[in-house]
Amino acid sequence: MPETVFAKIIRGEIPARIVHEDERCLAFHDVQPQAPVHVLVIPKKPVENVAALEGGDEALAGHLVLVAAEVARALGITDGYRLVFNCGRDGGQSVDHLHLHLLAGRRLGWPPG
C-alpha cells in the first residue's frame, strides 16, 4: 500500500483535530468538510479500501462503525447522521487508506451522488 496522508496522521507527522483514538483506529475532523460535521474514522492497520478487507477484518470494520456512532454521541449529534465508505476512484475515494465518513449537522439529500 502506498504512503498516504492518513499514515502520516496516524504517526503524528501531520497534525489533525483528533476526536477519538484507540489501539485500532483514529477519528479526526476532515480538513475539507462536506457538512458542518465531517469526521473521518480510519484504521491504524493499512487497508486500502473496503474491497481490500479480508476474512478476519470483520472486527475491525465493525469497530470503525461503532466508533463513528460513539463519536456522533460525543459530539451531541441528535438529529441524525450519515456514514459513508467510498471505494475506488469511481466511488469517490481520494485517499488510498480505508476511511469512514461521519457526516452531520444539516439535512443530507438523497440520492447522494
pLDDT value for 112: 80
Is 99 catalytic? The answer is yes
pTM score, whole prediction: 0.95
Identify the residue with better confidence: 70 or 112.
Answer: 70
Domain boundaries, the chain: 5-104
pLDDT tens digits along 65-74: 999 999 999 9
Whether omega before 111 lies within 30 degrees of 0, making that bond cis, reads yes
Q: Domain 5-104, what fold?
A: HIT family, subunit A (3.30.428)
pLDDT band at 113 (very low <50, low <70, confident <90, very high): low
Considering the candidates 20, 29, 63, 99, report the single residue annotated as catalytic.
Answer: 99
